[in-house]
Structure 1
Amino acid sequence: MDVIISSRIRLARNFKKYPFPNRLSSNQACSMIQEARKAIVESPTVIAQEFDYIDLEQKSSLEKLVMMEKHLISPELVKKTNPTAVLVNKDESISIMVNEEDHLRIQGIQLDSNIDKTWEVTSRIDDLLEESIEYAFHEKYGYLTSCPTNVGTGLRASYMLHVPILEATGQLKMIVQAIGKFGFTIRGMYGEGTETQGSLYQISNQITLGQSEKEIIDTLKTVTTQIVQQEKNLREKIVKENRLQIEDQIYRSYGTLKYARQLSSKEAMKLLSDVKVGFELGMLEKERKVDNIYDLMVYTQPANLQKQIGRNISVEERDEERARYIRNHL
């Protein structure tokens, strides 16, 4: 069962020589962005050849939203009016956001549960940047950041989880309260302050000071393993007790996706969540196997749909195109 969708590492870093972004002038921001660009694209390493530099001031709102829906940039970076940029590698597993809440947000994402590998890759990029950038660092407190909760390692480690049964039974709320005592939190699909759709949640650490990167990651793995097991146990339980009812719900969702002519984003996410569980429980084994339901969830988000069509379209047109896209891929 693929309860874990992805693993993510994000490192917050700042230049020692510049004020934090909230006090940065436009000229300083432009200079800082160019230094960050040079640190990667002009590096003599092979890694440098893998990255594309994107000036976000030159991108439309739609293009920025496409990147946000794919988790390449944050909702906050989309909203910023100051000079901003992002460096993205070819397979989009690494992105370096420039002039977000901190000067640099180095992010690594892998579509699996191997967070140790994600950390290894992200840390390598951090080391490469540090070869030419002097970070704001304090011997006692560690890396200095705009928000005090990021001071220390500057590390946010997280998993994206698909937990529809924990959500439906209300047990997820209890888990949120319990893990808060250990310095962890659960948020929506796109992080803090974002709405949850398709039963997708991010679990991440809240504390970065006083713990090593390894300690943070190891504790996250332990907590997440327990949550994943609870979701799996509940799935087995409901199938054992109410198999016909669950099968009926899953096939109704599959049928709607297969034949609907209009689907809102929220409805599509809920139905795709049901179908994902159906494939994982073996209830849809006679239907054509979809390689990655999560890809369908991403590519039917509003901005990504409009990118595929090549223009801005109305909500009604989006709902029609979303239904068509899903029909063609199921």
Structure 2
Amino acid sequence: MSNLRFTEQALSEWMRGSGQDSDIVISTRVRVARNLQNLPFPLLATNQQSAEVLERLTGVLKDQEELKSFGPFHVIKLDNLEELDRRVLVEKHLISPALANESRNGAVILNEDESVSIMINEEDHLRIQCLYPGFQVREAWDRATALDDIFENKLDYAFDDKRGYLTSCPTNVGTGLRASVMMHLPALVMTQQINRILSAVSQVGLTVRGMYGEGSEAVGNLFQISNQITLGQTESEIIDNLHSVVLQIIEHEKNARARLMSEAKLRIRDRVMRSYGILSYAAVMDSKEAAQRLSDVRLGVDLGILPGPSCFVINELTVMIEPGFLQKRFAGAMKPGERDVYRAKLIRETLGQNHNKQQ
């Protein structure tokens, strides 16, 4: 099977599944960072040393019997990809921006449905990432640690009895665990409660970022909530803390949605319908407006104001409107103004096809 499909299809197969509270929690991700003993970390490694890391890590995949529950894997070397393809993988959250810019033996290992992404020679030698739809943080952790155990049984990790797993960045030392959930919180934004909620989150060892992690802006009312502490807590304590706090945020968002429907139902319906109409007929659309309009439509579907499009179509559009995928779809580099025209065209066509299917 060609590896090209990983950059040609906007929606990863794992996103077609369902999970707990998927109307609010879009996805769950658990990632563990590891390095090999007696080899320089990627930032200091020579080309020969990073090549050795790549060979040793991909060598673990030869034991297909032990890995069969995760499905067959595909090794994609970043040097073999065009810049646009790398950007698409970032937009699908399958690799990080840091790995996309890596030129020394960087690679990603993906399984068939893209629910497992293993980055090699990024900031650390090995980063195992497991993705689930909806709110499934414990399930994602169970899968990530099972895969981590397979690698650890065959390799010597850089580990210190006092500090735990050693990593390039001090903020990952200890467990090396980063668990996060992508949440859609439009009602908390509309009722002006979001700043208070997010401020409280930061007081309990969690951090809030945008859709693409550290340094990214929260657009389309999408917020990534993740643990900030990796040292001094066990993996179970980190997972339990995130699980508990996210449940509280979910409850606050549900209450805010109920309040909006009780006190401002007509205004919310008007906002949803206007956004759907603009998405369906606009000739020009920048990425920030598209994300906000899609957020309104997603809320309208979740509240029963709109019969469609499905959450899968909205998830797909969320990736398709990004610059990399947009240029990949229409075969060529574009200036921002050109992208705005093609973005509007893509949204119109996608929503039109979905509407025809419903009739």
TM-score by length of 1: 0.95
User: Contact between 1:159 and 1:204, CA under 8 Å: does it hold in 2?
Assistant: yes
SS across alignment from 2:154: coil
Moved more, 48-57 or 135-144: 48-57
Give the SS at the match of 2:167.
Answer: coil
Give the direction of change, closer, same or farther, for the CA distance of 1:46–1:137 in structure 2 (3 Å limit). closer
The one-letter code of the counterpart of 1:315 is P
AA of the residue aligned to 2:257? R
Distance 1:255 1:110 in 2: 31
* Residue aligning to 1:152: 174
Tell me the residue number matched to 1:268.
Answer: 290
Which of 199, 212, 216 lines up with 1:190 in the alignment? 212
Deviation of the 1:43 alpha carbon: 4.6
Unaligned runs of 5+ in 1: none
Q: Distance in 2 between matches of 1:290 and 1:102?
A: 34
Counterpart of 1:204 in structure 2: which amino acid?
S
Listed as ranges, the matches of 1:160-199 within 5 Å are: 160-199=182-221
Partner of 1:34: 55
CA distance in 1, matches of 2:177, 2:142: 13
Contact 1:290/1:329, CA 8 A, preserved across alignment: no
Matched with 2:110 is 88
1:123 matched to 2:123? The reply is no
The answer on whether the counterparts of 1:51 and 1:88 sit within 8 Å (CA) in structure 2 is: yes
Equivalence for 2:36: 15
Letter of the 2:87 partner, please give it: L
Please identify runs of 4+ aligned residues in structure 1 that moved more than 4 A. Answer: 41-44, 287-290
Matched residue, 2:119:
97
1:45 maps to which of 66, 72, 87 = 66
Q: 1:291 to 1:24 in 2, by over 3 A?
A: closer
Contact 2:301–2:309 under 8 Å retained in 1: no
Of stretches 76-85 and 57-66 in structure 1, the one that deviates more from structure 2 is 76-85
The count of corresponding residues between Structure 1 and Structure 2 is 329
Q: Which residue of 2 aligns with 1:281?
A: 303
Q: Which residue of 330, 334, 337 corresponds with 1:309?
A: 330
Are residues 127 and 288 of structure 1, via their aligned partners in 2, closer, same or farther at CA, if it must alter by over 3 Å? closer
After superposition, the C-alpha distances for 1:228-276 in whole angstroms (9 at most, x for unaligned) are 1111111111221111111111111000011112211111111000000
Residue 275 and residue 23 in structure 1: after superposition, are their counterparts in 2 closer, same or farther (change >3 A)? Answer: same
Deviations 1:91-138 (A, max 9, x none): 001111111111111101111211221112211211111122110111
**Aligned AA (2:51):** C
Aligned-partner residue type, residue 79 of structure 1: N
Look up the match of 2:222: 200
Structure 2: 5+ residue stretches without partners: 1-20, 352-359
- Let me know the Cα RMSD of the aligned residues: 1.7
Contact 2:61 2:67 in 1 (8 A): no
Do residues 239 (structure 1) and 258 (structure 2) align? no
Aligned to 1:263, what secondary structure does the other structure show? coil
TM-score (norm 2): 0.87
Q: Tell me whether 1:294 sits opposite 2:315 in the alignment.
A: yes
**1:41 Cα deviation after fit:** 4.3
SS in 1 for 2:31: strand
The CA deviation string for residues 163-217 of structure 1, in whole angstroms up to 9 with x for no partner, is: 1122334422222222222110110101010122211111000111122211111
